Amino acid sequence: MFATVAIVGAGPAGLLLARMLHNAGIDSIVLEHRDRAYVEHRQRAGMLEQGTVDALRACGAAERLDREGLVHHGIELRFDRRSHHLDFPALTGGRSVMIYAQTEIVKDLVALQLAEGGPLLFEAEAIAIEDDTLTFVRDGVKERLGFDFVVGCDGFHGISRAAIPDARVYEREYPYSWLGILADVPPSCEELIYAHSERGFALHSMRSPTVSRLYLQVPNDTDPDDWPDDRIWDELDARFAVDTDWKLMRGPITQKAVTPMRSFVTEPMRHGRLFLAGDAAHIVPPTGAKGLNLAISDVVTLAKALQHWFTTGSPDLLNTYSDTCLRRVWRAEHFSYFMTTLLHRTPDQTPFDTRLQLSQLHRIADSRHAAAELAENYAGLP
């Protein structure tokens, strides 16, 4: 078995790369160790930068996104029981963001790959990457796949990251996690709410006009079973409280999970024929909504470099892939760190620390320059 490009992992990064390569006339095979049902239903991010939306449209994967996605023209910051709206188009020269769940992106890309693209092999576990061969196991049988290039889109726990020798690793663990819920209730807001509170951070997001996605800052190692539904809604009410008649809508909670907060980068993102993309190379805390968008940016950059190589024979863009991606990765890491430390309370938080946070929040609310800096990073840099 042979593929010009072997792709490990059928998340949005691997699937979008396969789609872009197919459109450019470059063959690929995608290997995914989970089954299709698992891949299409794992809950992940849902905020898309303008560049991510543009990439999905350009490759013909945005028909349902354009029909069902929710365009957002900003976010709301809440602190000191007051609200402040950031108008992204006014602050960024016209850019907005869109809410469309990662699960739906994956469903769209899987359907396109199976209908038009190269092989997409579910329940095929990659176990070794050598110079020009990938070994995987399917139905209990070892198989070998030859390639010109291999791309690791298999996340932090996949085999691709470990196949880069002498990689440099940078990481940070945060002393809190997020308790995230999905609820069958219409959103209580038109755009995302980021709340700074003496009780801790809270985020109100959404998945559709009828499904809300909300998060609470909780201690690490929190057991979701210790948070019955009424306790979650009461705590959200307290953290979103403002001196207006705004009301948080309550409804049945259908999913509940705790997500640790961490930052991680591995350098370089290339070794010989092997390229890393997405969570295999970097992880950000979700506060800045950058994880999915960074993964998409990686594969857009890589697809252009591969097309350039096959068209011209020049390796220039492949040789600069890692440096090009890492410049954007570190900008996103910093922005995610900024948003996280601005809005969360640490276990040893002092009144001085809180006043510094509030000072920065007031600066964003009062200064167009500070607001524009946040908006430009949130909506997505080039």
Please state, for a pLDDT cut of 70, what percent of the chain lies above it.
Answer: 100
Name residues whose C-beta falls within 8 Å of residue 271's C-beta, 6 or more positions apart in sequence: 163, 164, 165
The pLDDT score that the predictor gives to residue 300 is 98
The catalytically annotated residue of 22, 72, 204, 282 is: 72
Start-end ranges of CATH 3.30.9.10 in the chain? 174-260+348-379
CATH number of the domain located at residue range(s) 2-71+100-171+262-340 in this protein: 3.50.50.60
217 and 203 Cβ atoms separated by less than 8 Å: no
Average pLDDT over residues 77-102: 96
State how far the Cα of 8 lies from the Cα of 116, in Å rounded to an integer: 19
**Alpha carbon of residue 300 to chain centroid:** 15
> Per-residue pLDDT for 42 more than 90?
no
**341: closest CA among 294, 291, 285, 379?**
285
Which tens digit of pLDDT belongs to each residue from 306-338?
Answer: 999 999 999 999 999 999 999 999 999 999 999
The catalytically annotated residue of 174, 176, 215, 378 is: 378
The catalytically annotated residue of 22, 290, 321, 344 is: 290
Which tens digit of pLDDT belongs to each residue from 123-138?
Answer: 999 999 998 999 999 9
Which tens digit of pLDDT belongs to each residue from 361-371?
Answer: 999 999 999 99
> Per-residue pLDDT for 45 more than 90?
no
Name residues whose C-beta falls within 8 Å of residue 29's C-beta, 6 or more positions apart in sequence: 1, 3, 5, 6, 7, 118, 119, 120, 121, 145
Q: Is position 286 annotated as part of the catalytic site? A: yes
CATH number of the domain located at residue range(s) 174-260+348-379 in this protein: 3.30.9.10
Q: What is the mean pLDDT of the chain?
A: 96
State how far the Cα of 202 lies from the Cα of 180, in Å rounded to an integer: 10
The catalytically annotated residue of 12, 187, 285, 286 is: 286
Judged on CB neighbours under 10 Å (0-12, 13-18, 19+), 24 is middle
Start-end ranges of CATH 3.50.50.60 in the chain? 2-71+100-171+262-340
Which tens digit of pLDDT belongs to each residue from 3-13?
Answer: 999 999 999 99
Q: Is position 38 annotated as part of the catalytic site? A: no
Name residues whose C-beta falls within 8 Å of residue 47's C-beta, 6 or more positions apart in sequence: 72, 97, 98, 99, 192, 205, 289, 292, 293
Q: Is position 72 annotated as part of the catalytic site? A: yes
> Per-residue pLDDT for 43 more than 90?
no
State how far the Cα of 121 lies from the Cα of 15, in Å rounded to an integer: 12
Q: What is the pTM of this model?
A: 0.94
Q: Is position 378 annotated as part of the catalytic site? A: yes
Q: Is the dihedral of CA 140, 141, 142, 146 positive or negative?
A: negative
State how far the Cα of 154 lies from the Cα of 314, in Å rounded to an integer: 27
Q: Is position 142 annotated as part of the catalytic site? A: no
The pLDDT score that the predictor gives to residue 361 is 98
66: its two tokens: 């354009």
